[in-house]
Amino acid sequence: MLAKRMILCLDVKDGRTVKGTNFGNLKDAGDIVELAKRYSDEGADELVFLDITASHERRKTMLTWVEQVAEAVNIPFTVGGGISSDLDVSNLLSKGADKVSINTAALIKPALIDTLALCFGRQCIVVAIDARKEDGNWNVYINGGRKKTSYELFSWAKEAESRGAGEILFTSMDHDGTNQGFACEAVARLSEELTIPVIASGGAGKMEDFYDAFTLGKADAALAAGVFHYGKLAIPDVKRYLDSREIEIRI
Amino acid sequence: MKIVVVNYGAGNVFSVMMALKRLGYEAELSRNSVVINSADKVIFPGVGQASEAMKQLKATGLDQLIPQLKMPVLGICLGMQLMCQDTEEEDTVGLNIFQLSVKKFVGDYKIPHMGWNNIYDLKSPLFEGIESGERMYFVHSYYVPNSEHSIAKCDYSGEFAAAIHKDNFYGCQFHPEKSADFGEKVLSNFLKM
């Protein structure tokens, strides 16, 4: 039976991993390749790297560390951050990234999803969505959570799927960095309405949160970062816990 | 031992090269028929879209070369599917090494089939040292049905071939280069053939 996936996310800035809370207050979280290797050895099922470097050097430095990660780890990894063209994607895939995650560029030009899915296959196109619940509506944000769009989470996710997204990575900005659990209700609705896998992100704080994401949230995968970077939880413990509660998981 | 990874513009060849490097092998990346013919082992990777990939194979003459190879050949993911007769993906005609038709997943399951799934009914030295039920990493929307060629099975909305074998040709639907230690074991078993 297909296992639920535990995905470790590393935010990257200027070639180092960082972790913020509620889309702000960045703290250094360590060397990229070292952390990637450690998480893969500890049993992470996948890794996601989001490069939030603001400078124009980003594209170049990204290719360097992506290649280093591809050399070091033997599990799949996704790369995101400022990807806006088929050339970006082709460069990253050629350096060993398995998937790319697009966010802002897809909202600015939704047809980018169609193009990328056609060129590279939908299985490597992850559409990441950052959203926040305001007055009962899940509003979609771009530019790393700084700018609100006119899009709504569920309709945008549907559109992304129909354009060729292979997976949806949904981050609840309300939950991100709070360690108070995932936005299970919204995740469950996404999972029910879509036919592609849904990754729940934002809010992991304790082992039960992962259990809830997979049961209440019906998520195909759950993504977390800070809770593992700072050693509050360890991947093998979480996996054993999930296994003991009869969640299908890779041990 | 000379290992050549077929480079036809499709797929994530770099990951395969890196996996081989982790195992201690320097492989050569090539689309040149002389180079490929001189290999002891050939790996035919593939990620992406079938019709585009076939176009690339035809443009480089690899569609003629690959079926005639005599050394052990391992097709991975799309590489395995392209070794079949045809695929429902854009109704593409394949290399016809295996007289099998690749089907699209249908049903109430999430597609692509993406993630770590168990493989079982393991029937080949390719899986030496790997227990039935171990998990490999899969990413695909089309599948090769089970047949007399199946040497490993997987279940996702029904059983399908996780790996196939005929003569010197092997194919695996999962990505050994991304399936952690057990995946690397499959690669190293292949290199021992």
Q: Does B159 touch chain A (CB under 8 A)?
A: no
Q: What is the DSSP letter of A11?
A: E
In the block, which residue shows the tokens 């299970």?
Answer: A184
B117 burial level (CB within 10 Å; 0-12, 13-18, 19+): buried
pLDDT score of A23? 55
Q: What does the pLDDT look like over A183-227, one tens digit per residue?
A: 999 999 999 999 999 999 999 999 999 999 999 999 999 999 888
Choose the weakest-confidence range: A122-126, A159-163, B99-103: A122-126
pLDDT band at A59 (very low <50, low <70, confident <90, very high): confident
Q: Is B177 noted as a catalytic residue in this protein?
A: yes
Bridge partners of A201, per DSSP, are: A171, A223
pLDDT band at B10 (very low <50, low <70, confident <90, very high): low
Which of residues 43 through 82 in chain B touch A, CB cutoff 8 A?
47-49, 52, 78
Q: Percent of chain A beyond pLDDT 90?
A: 78
| A199–chain B nearest CA distance, Å | 12
pLDDT score of A16? 87
Closest CB to A98: pick one of B12, B140, B183.
Answer: B12
pLDDT score of B91? 95
Q: What does the pLDDT look like over B111-161, one tens digit per residue?
A: 999 999 999 999 999 999 999 999 999 999 999 999 999 999 999 989 999
Identify the architecture of domain B3-191 in CATH: 3-Layer(aba) Sandwich (3.40)
CB contact under 8 A, A1 and B118: yes
CA A209 – CA A111 distance, rounded (Å):
35
Listing DSSP states for chain B in one string gives --EEEE--S-S-HHHHHHHHHHTT---EEE--HHHHHT-SEEEE---S-HHHHHHHHHHTTHHHHGGG--S-EEEETHHHHHTEEEETGGGEE---SEEEEEEE--SSS-SSEEEEEE-BS--SGGGTT--TT-EEEEEESEEPPP-TTEEEEEESSSEEEEEEEETTEEEESS-GGGSHHHHHHHHHHHHT-
pLDDT score of A20? 64
Strands in A108-244 per DSSP E: 125-134, 137-142, 147-152, 167-172, 198-201, 221-224
| ipTM given for this complex | 0.92
CA B33 – CA B35 distance, rounded (Å):
5
Choose the weakest-confidence range: A26-35, A125-134, A191-200: A26-35
Closest CB to A94: pick one of B14, B52, B111.
Answer: B14
All structural domains of chain A, each given as residue ranges with its CATH number in brackets, are: 5-244 (3.20.20.70)
> Nearest Cα to B164, choosing from B94, B61, B111, B108?
B94
- Active site members of A: 11, 130
Query: Which residues in chain A touch residue B178, judged by CB atoms under 8 angstroms apart?
Result: 74-76, 98
CA B98 – CA B83 distance, rounded (Å):
6
Rounded mean pLDDT of B39-43? 98
pLDDT score of B151? 98
